[in-house]
Structure 1
């Protein structure tokens, strides 16, 4: 039931530093594509004044999140909700003060990212609240790391709808939904954290 992603142990401290800067001091955070649930449990413990709402569209992921939640001793980690960003219609969640999405964009069809921004606009639009994306991204004018090029090729070989996206494509998509990029952080292992807000 309980899954473990090695990347979580490697990146959670670096991501937490960014979250400490970008998240509100208190409120409710919706995590999209929570995967194993390890990030959700770690960040809920790190930020006790924030109520963490994990979500995923995969049944095995939901089971793993539940297993990690059972071992979590705090009261600020919600039951995981089933949420597929590709599904039409509004998300069944209210009162969100930030959205965090870690390592989804490159291992999902582009439609999932379009749905992410569409749903974020529903929940965060016009409130200057953050949509925070972490993962590998290509950037125009920035030489891509050989490891990211190889990773992109392996992703596309596994599924033609997957692949590392460009920060510029994300920026255009964000603009279509009323968001603008307000921060860019270089992260370990050739990853980036990109922050979007809708004023």
Structure 2
């Protein structure tokens, strides 16, 4: 039985995301992915980032099965087995296994809007414990800017998310930046991506 799940958007965005990651990453180490979903990004990125250990995670058991199924279909010794992490839970960093290299980056693709706001808060609180100064947080997804949607399609997307779960929704980028600053992360870059998405990079400053 093949447990692999497929997200059509992955093939459309994976190359542009990888280009940003390659440009933003510095010294080799572990990249911890939060909310890895189907695992398609992990399976695509790990072989192309051989100097890094890619550690996928997801709180959903079906997603973890999919991640591990994708892992079994590729030859990438630097791709770890999926682990259960829920960043809305206090002290989620305590569930991390022993990793082969220190964590130098945390990636969260399409997490911020498809989760309650508590996930954003918990992500940065935990990242402050895990990342050394200069460490990277990479976020990808749709955002409002100055309280306004950047495209009509994003407004429709926001409404669809809230219809699925009232706790979800496209976040105001300035609110995310404020949360990051409170946990000693500074905004490094905001990069416009296809389909009205953004890549947002933060660096740990303390």
TM bin, normalised by shorter chain, reads: over 0.9
User: Is 2:185 the counterpart of 1:179?
Assistant: yes
CA RMSD of aligned residues (A): 1.3
Aligned residues: 198
State the partner residue of 1:100: 107
1-side partners of 2:136 and 2:27: how far apart?
A: 13
Segments of structure 2 that go 5 or more residues without pairing to the other structure are none
8 A contact 1:90–1:122 mirrored in 2: no
What does the per-residue CA deviation read over 1:32-55, in whole Å, with 9 as the maximum and x for residues that have no partner?
000000000100011111110000
Cα distance between partner residues in 2 of 1:198 and 1:187? 23
Residue 195 of structure 1 aligns with which residue? 201
Q: Which runs of 5+ in 1 are unaligned?
A: none
- Check the 8 A contact 2:88/2:119 in 1, yes or no: yes
User: Which shows bigger deviation, 106-115 or 140-149?
Assistant: 140-149
Tell me, in whole angstroms, the C-alpha distance in 2 between the residues paired with 1:20 and 1:70: 24
2:87 aligned to which of 68, 73, 85: 85
* 8 Å Cα contact 1:33-1:57 kept in structure 2: yes
1:89-113 deviation digits (Å, cap 9, x = unpaired): 1413362110000001101000011
Q: Does the 8 Å CA contact 1:66/1:79 hold for their aligned counterparts?
A: yes
Distance 2:9 2:71 in 1: 19
TM-score by length of 1: 0.96
Give the deviation of 1:142 after TM superposition.
6.4
Q: Residue deviations 1:56-111, cap 9 Å, x none?
A: 00010000001001111121001111000011114133621100000011010000
Aligned to 1:7: 9
Q: Which runs of 4+ in 1 moved over 3 A?
A: none
Give TM-score, length-normalised by structure 2. 0.93
1:144 Cα offset (Å)? 2.0
Give the corresponding residue for 1:131.
Answer: 137
State the distance in 2 between where 1:53 and 1:198 align. Answer: 20
